Structure 1
Amino acid sequence: MGVFVLLPLVLPLTAWPVARLAEQRLHPRTATRLLAAVAGVLAVCSTLCLGLLVIVGTAQLPGNPLPDGWSDPEVRAAVPYDELAGPAAIPALLAVLVSCASAARRHVRVRRRADGALAGLPARSAAVLRPAPAARAWPSAFTTAGLAVWGAAAGATVSALSSANSAVTLFTVLRAATPM
């Protein structure tokens, strides 16, 4: 597994250049949907990777509720720098959970304000929006916009596969370390 365990934690940084290209080259609605999908995939993969590191980190703490086999050298060998990455992942995952909770709370507040503002408008008022872009195939990879779209898709795929590989491998190691 090696360093590839940590890859999903770093790959979300690739979303910044993709967002710059997408905002300049794509229709705003298309760019928003693309970036939301890529961000969702990268967030799930990163959180899964962080959760696996938390399991390895808590298995090393004294008095942990996890099976003793999970702190064996074979399990720790699956994660590079496990003595640093495991305990550091615990506060990192807590920070992610707090950040998600505050974002959800903020979303609910904004949604309620928007619903209240829209409820006050007369029924005849309507927002004038541009028509949705025509549905078409993905842009060619030989254009800047196409390179951004295909790069985002490739990055999300690599992150998802890396996280899945890390999860399966660590699950297999943990299952082998747990006596039945």
Structure 2
Amino acid sequence: IKTFIDHGVKKILVSSPHCLHSFKNEYPEFNARFEIVHITEFLRELIAEGRLKPTRGYAKRITYHDPCYLGRHNGIFDAPREVLKSIGELTEMAERRQNSFCCGGGGGRIWMETPKGERFADLRVKQALEVGAEVLVSACPYCITNFTDASLGQSIEVKDITEVVQEVI
């Protein structure tokens, strides 16, 4: 934090919802007074301003998973959806937004020996497949890691939202 303050940092762009949460909600007690922006908010702004222009629509059926620390803990639900809707069709899963299902990456669950098929990520991938998604998109590296493992042998791809945007610009 001292390094950021000493160098006059005013704004920090983060891709991890966990970093967003720490900088925005925990670090102010250490005199950290930065504007913290999640990559989905930044992408939404660039697209809305016409500074980032998709050259084509995304051809595959997408569903979006709300990461716990982006959605429930920090209230960022619309930015990722607006980004995805600007490039293609978004198919929602039943459990979304405030009621989203955890990927299993938080709280140490990732290291538990839960049988395959019963892990939170396995259940979430199943939910994505049930809505006909070809791509399960999230905006959290923990979620991406868990879903990538859970999707092995399944007919679904797992991608970070930035990867999907990169494919259409």
TM class by shorter-chain length? under 0.3
The TM-score with structure 2 as length reference comes to 0.25
- Structure with greater helix percent: 1
| RCO higher in structure (CA 8 A, sep ≥6) | 1
The TM-score with structure 1 as length reference comes to 0.24
- Structure with greater strand percent: 2
